[in-house]
Amino acid sequence: MALLQQLAPDPQILKRRDRIIRQLKRLVGRTAVISDEYGRRAFETDALTTYKCMPLAVVLPETTEEVSDILTYCNEHDIRVVARGAGTSVTGGALPQEDAIVLCVSRMNKVIETDYDSRTIRVQSGITNTAITNAVAKEGFFYAPDPSSQIACTLAGNIAMNSGGAHCLKYGVTTNNLLGVRMVLMSGEIIDIGGNYLDAPGYDFLGLLTGSEGQVGVITEATVRILKAAEGARPMLIGFSTVEDAGACVASIIASGILPVAIEFMDKPAIEVCEAHAHAGYPLDVEALLIIEVEGSGSEIEELQEKLKNIAKSHDPTVIKVSTDDEMSAAIWLGRKGAFGAMGRISDFYCMDGVIPVSRLSDVLTRVIEICKTYELRVANIFHAGDGNLHPLILFDANDPDEVDRAEQCGAEILKLCVEAGGCLTGEHGVGIEKRELMPVQFSDTDLAQQMRVKTLFDPKWLLNPGKVFPLDKWHLK
């Protein structure tokens, strides 16, 4: 099983564990360091729960200055560091190493400054995604990116993986809503990039940092855009007798020039599980379902929904159902947002995250189902159809090594398919350890070497988030 491969721990660091823990307690206080086995166990994995590794220790700083002190010490003593938000990564992005400390920013969750005139908010990076919206909702604003784990996931993790969510079709993913960061380099140096304005001068370092998966520094503060909430929004459900018809409908909607807030896709296995969990009123006699949401004034919503109905009718829908009130709308989104949790009630699953051109949806979905049948595994498809971000959930038994192996191989084939279709390995979940060994499928040795040079510039000793993103057999090139 390729994902189990880890970098060899440094035996000298393991021998010095007690001394390292004492020094960390001097830097941030005894209550901010978790060193006992029971406490560390909560940090031994992230949402990719098949793989576990106990960290050397866990540190919970509350300020940028404390993060700087921690990294300065670790850099001087060659101690590896894994930055962590809420641990909701499903690619092993926050998986620890035995000889690494976990630097968890969850206590850094304060709102620093809100500027409604500039439509920005500055926060510590450990704040949850939903908490940003809650902080400005009373003034009629919201923070647009909305991953399914938004109640728990932190802004730090969103920036690390460039997270999106159901409404990214209209409002963009994290990189489209991030204006500035305060970041601590491995040397302990504190730097500021961007600020309270739309575009920073000079090189696009924000673009480099967003999606860098903790490889170049630890982000402690961020300034993000907040948007004025629309007058209203309504989702509609459109059911189809085939997956291919649903995929073709999505392509037609995008080609029409209409830009809904969200277009979400579910196939029959996903519909049945989500309906049993949320009782959202999903039709159970269809093979595929689209959730399409539009927003604006009452008349705008009605006009857009009518246009969408006409587009859908050319693809033989079996049911079209429009939400009639806020309660029904909330139930529809509860079903979609709770999909991964609902699936977890019935099976272990391996959540993929490839991206393809929207025009290729129908044939790629057909091929995904065929690949899973080849490996004798069930699959449920749930994803952001509007931007082609696929999330096939491969169902397997985590207690069966053979099924785990087959699930990994099946997932790798699906991701290779995405690249072959003109897409890429990840849309919003990142590379982590899950796709680390697949990077050569998309990038040449020259591409990878260039990426690794950038990593070395920011982190010369390669101490930050070790064993992630870059294939292990390329580490000698660093």
How does pLDDT run across 335-377, given as a tens digit for each residue? 888 888 888 888 999 889 999 998 888 889 889 999 999 999 9
In which band, very low, low, confident or very high, does the pLDDT at 269 lie, cut at 50, 70 and 90?
very high
How does pLDDT run across 317-336, given as a tens digit for each residue? 999 999 988 888 998 888 88
Domains 233-340 and 347-420 share a fold: yes
Place of tokens 């988030």: 465
Sign of dihedral through CA atoms 144, 145, 150, 152?
A: negative
Helices 17-28, 64-76: inter-axial angle, 10-degree rounding: 150
CATH 1.20.1050.10 fits 233-340, yes or no: no
How does pLDDT run across 155-212, given as a tens digit for each residue? 999 999 999 988 888 999 999 999 999 999 999 999 999 988 877 788 899 999 999 9
Q: How far apart are CA 61 and CA 103, in angstroms?
A: 8
Q: How far apart are CA 7 and CA 468, in angstroms?
A: 10
* Total-model pTM: 0.93
- From start to end of 190-347, where are the E strands? 190-194, 218-225, 227-228, 233-240, 262-267, 288-295, 317-322
**Nearest to 218, CA basis, from 24, 79, 64:** 64
Every domain of the chain and the residues it spans = 2-107, 111-228, 233-340, 347-420
Give me the count of residues in the chain. 478
Q: How far apart are CA 3 and CA 51, in angstroms?
A: 8
DSSP percent split of the chain into helix, strand, coil, nearest 5: 40, 20, 35
Q: pLDDT above 90 covers what percent of the chain? A: 77
Pick the CATH number of 347-420 from 3.10.310.10, 1.20.1070.10, 3.30.70.2740, 3.40.50.300: 3.30.70.2740
Give the mean pLDDT of 45-53: 82
Pick the CATH number of 111-228 from 3.30.1490.20, 3.30.465.10, 3.90.550.10, 3.40.50.300: 3.30.465.10
Biggest distance spanned by C-alpha atoms of the chain: 69
Contacts of 46 (CB under 8 A, 6+ apart): 84, 87, 88, 89, 90, 92, 93, 94, 95
Residue 31 CB-density burial (10 A; 0-12 exposed, 13-18 middle, 19+ buried): exposed
How does pLDDT run across 73-116, given as a tens digit for each residue? 999 999 999 999 999 998 999 999 999 999 999 999 999 999 99
Q: How far apart are CA 289 and CA 299, in angstroms?
A: 25
Contacts of 245 (CB under 8 A, 6+ apart): 288, 315, 316, 317
Instruction: Give whole-number Cα distances, 418 to 30, 198, 442, in Å.
Output: 48, 32, 10
Tokens of 8: 């060899």
Phi-psi region for residue 257, left (φ > 0), alpha (ψ -120 to 50) or beta? left
Pick the CATH number of 2-107 from 3.30.43.10, 3.20.20.370, 3.40.50.11900, 3.40.1170.60: 3.30.43.10
Say if CB 243 and CB 365 are below 8 A apart: yes
Say if CB 319 and CB 239 are below 8 A apart: yes
| The predicted structure's pLDDT at residue 460 | 96
How does pLDDT run across 433-452, given as a tens digit for each residue? 999 999 999 999 999 999 99
H-only helix segments in 296-360: 298-313, 326-337, 339-344
